[in-house]
Amino acid sequence: MVKVRTEDLLKNFNLTLVAGKDGVHRELFSSDIHRPGIEMTGYFDYYPKERLQLIGKTEMSYFLDLTEENKKDRMEQLCTDVTPVIVISRDMEIPDVILETADEAGVPVLHSPRQTTRVISRLTNYLEGKFAPFTAIHGVLVDIYGVGVLLTGQSGVGKSETALELVKRGHRLIADDSVEIYQEDYDRLIGNSPPLIEHLLEIRGLGIINVMTLFGAGAVRPYKKISMIINLELWDESKQYDRLGLDEESMKIMDVSLPKSTIPVRPGRNLAVIIEVAAMNFRLKKMGVNAAEEFSERLTKMIDQESDTE
């Protein structure tokens, strides 16, 4: 389980700790950010105290109009024992009552010079990346013409050897053997390599090779959006493989369904070239060009014409 603490926000963003230094080790458990506007009026029945609290110009303007007694009361209720952090944006001057109450409760207060919307956007993106659903899949992830292609298949089928040939042809390796996958948003999967095997390829009979050392920094990428899956399997004479490309398979990883193609492997087939073409064909389909459908329509028209002449 990924842990995100208030001190991580200090390290990664242009934020200044102004109060509550005893609470910098407090942990965040959600990517949700709350702006305590209704709480400033005194209504705390549904206060999400476990979230990051962000005070912008609207909340601060209302707070400054309160009596000193109400200011103290609101801050005491805002600063609970589970509140991870309070962020104040726009480089606004912070009243002493906020600083004193936060120090007493051990709730860190961070000051940002940025506009409120910018702060929300950057913090949300960071936290969603940290708390994104995660899984790991046995396979190889390669960037081919800008398309993230995940190669899957049983051990020994030739995934790593194919990835090596693709790298030699100018494409980029992201991960070999184990691909860590994070779900960003509802339809986006990002793949990367575990740190231990980053930039490495295992070639049977040769051993471990460092792709970046051999081919340069342009042959690797740290992460890539996964766009399609290609499953490599040993040629099965009893199986009927798709010859037109009209049958579209898909594979679901977490909550995202990705297009999947199955390529049979046997001597004489140049897998690297086939996979390159599959990636280019995927891009064409995204642009509205589907060769299989065009052929099917052409064939249907020809059959109809022959039927009319009879």
Known catalytic residues are 138, 159, 177, 243
Residue 186's domain spans which residues? 134-295
Residues 6+ away with beta carbon under 8 Å from 186: 255, 256
User: Which residue has 């046995």 as its token pair?
Assistant: 138
- 87 with 145, same domain? no
In a domain, 197, yes or no: yes
pLDDT band at 47 (very low <50, low <70, confident <90, very high): very high
- 174 with 51, same domain? no
Answer yes or no: is 238 a known binding residue: no
- 153 with 216, same domain? yes
Answer yes or no: is 154 a known binding residue: yes
- 126 with 196, same domain? no
- 97 with 142, same domain? no
Answer yes or no: is 121 a known binding residue: no
Q: Express each pLDDT in 88-124 by its tens digit.
A: 999 999 999 999 999 999 999 999 999 999 999 999 9
In a domain, 198, yes or no: yes
- 198 with 266, same domain? yes
pTM: 0.76
In a domain, 305, yes or no: no
SS3 19: strand
**Residue-wise DSSP of 237-265:** TTS---SSS-S-EEEEETTEEEEEEEEEE
pLDDT band at 244 (very low <50, low <70, confident <90, very high): low
Answer yes or no: is 156 a known binding residue: yes
Answer yes or no: is 155 a known binding residue: yes
